[in-house]
Structure 1
């Protein structure tokens, strides 16, 4: 069994002040394969102190010095991509193809995208041409507590750590204790890249202990959290007494609006189902509510049921386009409970259902599931299931589709399928979501990621992600060159 029980603090791998062994479980067979140690508030204190000491010098480094660091990180990460994919696949169950091409690749893409942002970002500039002695200066906010989830580990770690370093901040990272091995490998990469002592620190632990200690610590200037809305609320409350900046990327219940004028209904529905099932449904922006215009609803239900029935479930260690297990027993139990809730509430089960897929008697594997005739007041239409479960809802027209789409406490993503360009523009503007994707379009590198309402605040990625880690200072009477 692999032992990774130390924390990275002040440039060194150090033992926790109090050992609290914690097993890392392989979700494919439910057995422990590694052991970490959970930290404590005292370990957080050490890490914050190191980050505070390092901030004074690192905040004054030049853009080029920070670019050099990020470029070294990028090269080492690229060399260790296969190791990263294997770590992610083992810890959270992503099949190797997905772990390599999407999970690990996302980390590389974000590192390189932030390098481009940093190369072009203007940290100092006049307010405007007629007020050139009023200077605007963007400065690092300070020491940042970064709390990341298990479902897209490197996507979220790089979306936080890299822009923080690019801004000149120092950080304390708490990755998910359920899937910590990829973050420990990332710490190895930063150590090899020569990150200065105290600039990057990692403390493993759970939310109630380490997460809470970071959120309320007076030496932390900003907390960036990705996870459930419930946990995000707890982070915000803990941070309130010290009035620190809080950036939240939380849950979603994203609608996928399918209109009758879509050029290829089968293609649009298949795309939506597969997106819902991707990563075993464990994505906050998954299109889990499919709102279909009534005139094509029955056809859409038949297509969706067929796609889900054909979706393959398999071991994460194998290559392929199958889906793997859920991450943990807790997630497995939650998804099973919500599938049963859909049945109990009267939704029509057209694919999948409770229990493991045929051929699996262990591991957190679930059946790709589609419910039809769902109403938006049902539990499966309201709660974020975080599993491969699709709720299909018939709608009469565009207005009803928009009304139901917006009838949710979340507002992360939305998807629209239509052949009418004007409708695409009109509907996208009325949807209360931070991101809208039309007709299967992908999101460009550097596009802001984040949502409305209880899906969080702040934006990750691109210049927006860098700006989240910067303070804005206005200096009046700035000396101008004659």
Structure 2
């Protein structure tokens, strides 16, 4: 089946008339053909978004919210079909794929409810005759560049606040997972969203994303992806074009396990954080730092548990680890594993599974290393795959020092029954997301998401703080004649 761009409320062929096959990472199945768009397609989408902005801005918050709720209802009604398409093209296991669609529903419903929340504040003036207050106004047309690892949730958590606060949108989805975003566009189309308010252009980031960053009619860019691309976007969008930019990028997220922790529970937290979604999360657990008193018992139980995990078809209900999203991604993970074999001790995994039915997929077994030096590539670089580096430390202080010794600052977790050390950890750790006795991965739509250091530009997504990026404050002095 051939799919089209969504521009000005219509499904449109790309100007190039060229398409790219969307192939399953499990077995190479063709899931459809998607546009290989060019700059002209992006220009059409931008023109549509710009034209529709004045009328969309003038709608009440409740009117805009009705479209978000209708889109949520469509996703909820079709969760089985959409979830299976997401699983087939991205590779995450069944429960996670279905869960992501339901998460998108929750995000849309959350921002629909924001239509009834306060927008500004009244501030006492020095002049008794002045009514002094603030409100917020939308930016205009915003550009969204979204990744493949959460192909429905991340697009929705960007576009939902953008729309509810009165902006119009052009989105460039990851070219590895276009069908998931197609379903989001279809949901809004079925909701009757006014033409031009939401536009989607499929294609390469080097073509469509680059053009989006340069286009003068796009007032802001929200990007989730690699640090390398994010820094390029920031430099070109802000320095050269004066746009507002929001970046969410990489992580090298630590889990600290102290000697008083419940070892079995800590192992499950480690396995879930590191190996769900095949480790393809910016919040995935990458480094596990264990106090020496329980290191050996934790290590052995972790290795045994890792060996039990089923690697296989993501549509099978008992699969824990699915394929990497693409050959390029899988090759990159295997390359880092080979580097790890030279600089550390391999405890388990580190190879492709032997099952014949997985031979055409991009699979790698969940992998655990120990004896990793602090300056090893395994300890420093984001791998974005199912790979754990284990470290042994003497005490809490050494653990936190090691955890903070990274350019990244997205997420971190600690396993402990010591309330004092848990509170110290919350203060000491240099990240945007802190978990106590839970996985480094995982976030709820009603709270802010984002990191510090090289993981983020500092602005937050989701929750009430999303308004900070998608609007600007207007201060009003109202006096009587």
Asked whether the equivalents of residues 68 and 188 of structure 2 are also in contact (C-alpha less than 8 Å), the reply is no
1:48 pairs with one of 39, 46, 53:
46
Deviation at 1:357, TM superposition (A): 4.5
Q: Which residue of 1 aligns with 2:456?
A: 456
Q: In structure 1, what is the Cα distance between the partners aligned to 2:479 and 2:133?
A: 9
Deviation at 1:381, TM superposition (A): 1.4
Deviation at 1:61, TM superposition (A): 1.1
Q: Which residue of 1 aligns with 2:201?
A: 203
Asked whether the equivalents of residues 313 and 357 of structure 1 are also in contact (C-alpha less than 8 Å), the reply is no
Q: Which residue of 1 aligns with 2:314?
A: 316
Asked whether the equivalents of residues 131 and 479 of structure 2 are also in contact (C-alpha less than 8 Å), the reply is yes
Q: Which residue of 1 aligns with 2:406?
A: 408
Q: Which residue of 2 aligns with 1:391?
A: 389
Q: Which residue of 2 aligns with 1:446?
A: 446
DSSP-derived class of the 2:177 partner: coil
Q: Which residue of 2 aligns with 1:348?
A: 345
Asked whether the equivalents of residues 357 and 367 of structure 1 are also in contact (C-alpha less than 8 Å), the reply is no
- Judging changes above 3 Å, is the alpha-carbon distance between structure 1 residues 58 and 293 closer, same or farther for their aligned structure 2 residues? same
1:148 pairs with one of 123, 146, 149:
146
1:474 aligns with 2:475: yes
Asked whether the equivalents of residues 165 and 467 of structure 2 are also in contact (C-alpha less than 8 Å), the reply is yes
Deviations 1:4-36 (A, max 9, x none): 1x2111111111111232111110113433111
Q: In structure 2, what is the Cα distance between the partners aligned to 1:291 and 1:52?
A: 50
Q: In structure 2, what is the Cα distance between the partners aligned to 1:445 and 1:47?
A: 28
Structure 1 residues 146-185: aligned runs within 5 Å: 146-185=144-183
Deviations 1:162-194 (A, max 9, x none): 111110000001111111001011111100101
Q: Which residue of 1 aligns with 2:333?
A: 335
Deviation at 1:270, TM superposition (A): 2.3
Q: In structure 2, what is the Cα distance between the partners aligned to 1:125 and 1:71?
A: 27
Q: In structure 2, what is the Cα distance between the partners aligned to 1:317 and 1:424?
A: 38
Q: In structure 2, what is the Cα distance between the partners aligned to 1:348 and 1:447?
A: 39
Asked whether the equivalents of residues 340 and 354 of structure 1 are also in contact (C-alpha less than 8 Å), the reply is no
DSSP-derived class of the 2:414 partner: strand
Deviates more, 1:266-275 or 1:333-342: 266-275
Normalising by structure 1, report the TM-score: 0.95
Deviations 1:265-307 (A, max 9, x none): 1211222122210001111101111011111111111111011
Deviation at 1:364, TM superposition (A): 0.4
Q: In structure 2, what is the Cα distance between the partners aligned to 1:407 and 1:467?
A: 30
2:113 pairs with one of 104, 116, 119:
116
Q: Which residue of 1 aligns with 2:248?
A: 249
Deviation at 1:444, TM superposition (A): 4.3
Deviation at 1:134, TM superposition (A): 2.7
Asked whether the equivalents of residues 166 and 466 of structure 1 are also in contact (C-alpha less than 8 Å), the reply is no
Q: In structure 1, what is the Cα distance between the partners aligned to 2:135 and 2:198?
A: 24
Asked whether the equivalents of residues 67 and 119 of structure 1 are also in contact (C-alpha less than 8 Å), the reply is no
Q: In structure 2, what is the Cα distance between the partners aligned to 1:128 and 1:112?
A: 34
Q: In structure 2, what is the Cα distance between the partners aligned to 1:304 and 1:447?
A: 31
Q: CA RMSD in A?
A: 1.7
Asked whether the equivalents of residues 250 and 382 of structure 2 are also in contact (C-alpha less than 8 Å), the reply is yes
Q: In structure 2, what is the Cα distance between the partners aligned to 1:392 and 1:129?
A: 58
DSSP-derived class of the 2:81 partner: helix
DSSP-derived class of the 1:317 partner: coil
DSSP-derived class of the 2:32 partner: strand
Q: In structure 1, what is the Cα distance between the partners aligned to 2:416 and 2:94?
A: 34
Q: In structure 2, what is the Cα distance between the partners aligned to 1:317 and 1:269?
A: 25
Asked whether the equivalents of residues 257 and 291 of structure 1 are also in contact (C-alpha less than 8 Å), the reply is yes
Deviation at 1:394, TM superposition (A): 1.1
Deviation at 1:355, TM superposition (A): 2.8
- Judging changes above 3 Å, is the alpha-carbon distance between structure 1 residues 201 and 290 closer, same or farther for their aligned structure 2 residues? same
Deviations 1:332-359 (A, max 9, x none): 10000001111011x1111111233444
DSSP-derived class of the 1:448 partner: coil
Q: Which residue of 2 aligns with 1:421?
A: 419
Deviation at 1:238, TM superposition (A): 2.0
Normalising by structure 2, report the TM-score: 0.95
- Judging changes above 3 Å, is the alpha-carbon distance between structure 1 residues 405 and 212 closer, same or farther for their aligned structure 2 residues? same
Q: In structure 2, what is the Cα distance between the partners aligned to 1:270 and 1:185?
A: 33
Q: In structure 2, what is the Cα distance between the partners aligned to 1:338 and 1:368?
A: 13
Question: What runs of 5+ residues in structure 1 fail to find an aligned partner?
Answer: none
Deviation at 1:92, TM superposition (A): 0.7
Question: What runs of 5+ residues in structure 2 fail to find an aligned partner?
Answer: none
Q: In structure 2, what is the Cα distance between the partners aligned to 1:71 and 1:88?
A: 21
Q: Which residue of 1 aligns with 2:257?
A: 258
DSSP-derived class of the 1:35 partner: strand
Asked whether the equivalents of residues 98 and 321 of structure 1 are also in contact (C-alpha less than 8 Å), the reply is no
Asked whether the equivalents of residues 65 and 111 of structure 2 are also in contact (C-alpha less than 8 Å), the reply is no
